[in-house]
Amino acid sequence: MKLLTFSGENGGPRVGLADTERDVVRDLTGTLPHGVTLLDVVREWDVYEGKLAAAQGLVEYSLTAVTIHAPFPVPNRDIFCVGKNYREHVVEFGRSGYDSPDRSEALPEAPVVFPKMTTSVTGPYDDIESHAAVTQELDYEAELGVIIGRGGRGISRNEAFEHVWGYTIIDDFTARDLQRKHKQWLLGKSLDTHCPMGPFAVTRDEVKNPDELRVQSWVNGELRQDGSVADLIFDIPELIETISAGITLQPGDIIATGTPVGVGIGFDPPRFMKSGDVIEVAITGMGKQRNRIA
């Protein structure tokens, strides 16, 4: 299933089921109890999965006639982001001088995990704020987001996929000057609207093999990133094992798995985004974001 959070002529936000072959969203309002969000659905998937699969006679809208929000406009908690998780990106990042305080092209020996605040989340087609008063160095990072279903602590890599509910697209948008200046990455990663998410939350069964997913981005139509999830340094099971070793993963948690080579600071000189630029991010079978810098 491809689930989404949308608003339409009858209000919202509400939960829908996308049929991307027919370009429609099927409205699940009557199927779910009043006020239930997509995050609630993920948290209680055992309760809702059968109901959604059996839903009949749903009202449909054209996907282009509704406003699509982030699947989880307010996620369960801060997003677990993974830095430096594709080899060629590690090299471009180290070479750029922005990898403060590390400045290293060496591959990490363990996953680099940092938070991105919930309040940075925005919709897959919303404008991204430029925050010109605090940053002049806007950059994009196309990433596969893993959505946790069943929570747990001490999850082994062998059981890891049993804890995955599904996937979404994340643009780990970044203010590079803040990332470098403040050493710790929270500020540079968490400005308001700097986490476009969606358009869909795709259930795990739709993705037979995550290694076959391509993660791509374009700036003003120019292809910038074209990576394969198979090239992750630390794969999805290892990330889940590492994070859950001492932190109990909760249903609805999101792990942004890292970005492939081709971000703005990988160029010499860096190619930062500016007002009016458009960033698009796509992952195989998960749709495509399109956000303009305001």
For binding to Mg ion (CB under 5 A), which residues are involved?
141, 172, 259
Nearest residue (CB) to Mg ion, 55 versus 91? 91
Q: Which residue is nearest to Mg ion (CB)?
A: 172
CB of 192 to Mg ion, least distance (A): 17
Nearest residue (CB) to Mg ion, 126 versus 172? 172
CB of 143 to Mg ion, least distance (A): 6
CB atoms within 10 A of CB 113: 17
Distance CA 95, CA 160 (A): 34
Distance CA 106, CA 91 (A): 7
Inter-CA distances, 20 with 50, 199, 202, Å: 21, 11, 12
Distance CA 278, CA 127 (A): 9
Distance CA 225, CA 120 (A): 22
CB of 89 to Mg ion, least distance (A): 9
Nearest residue (CB) to Mg ion, 14 versus 224? 224
Nearest residue (CB) to Mg ion, 52 versus 255? 255
CB of 52 to Mg ion, least distance (A): 31
CB of 223 to Mg ion, least distance (A): 19
Cα angle 279-237-48, degrees, rounded to a multiple of 5: 75
Nearest residue (CB) to Mg ion, 92 versus 172? 172
Residue type, 137: E
Structure tokens at 80: 């677990």
SS3 content of the chain, % helix, strand, coil (to 5): 25, 35, 45
Nearest residue (CB) to Mg ion, 60 versus 192? 192
CB of 18 to Mg ion, least distance (A): 26
Inter-CA distances, 35 with 41, 59, 234, 252, 291, Å: 11, 18, 38, 17, 28
Nearest residue (CB) to Mg ion, 172 versus 241? 172
DSSP state of 107: P
Cα angle 174-237-175, degrees, rounded to a multiple of 5: 5
Distance CA 89, CA 87 (A): 5
CB 229 within 8 A of CB 259: no
CB of 206 to Mg ion, least distance (A): 23
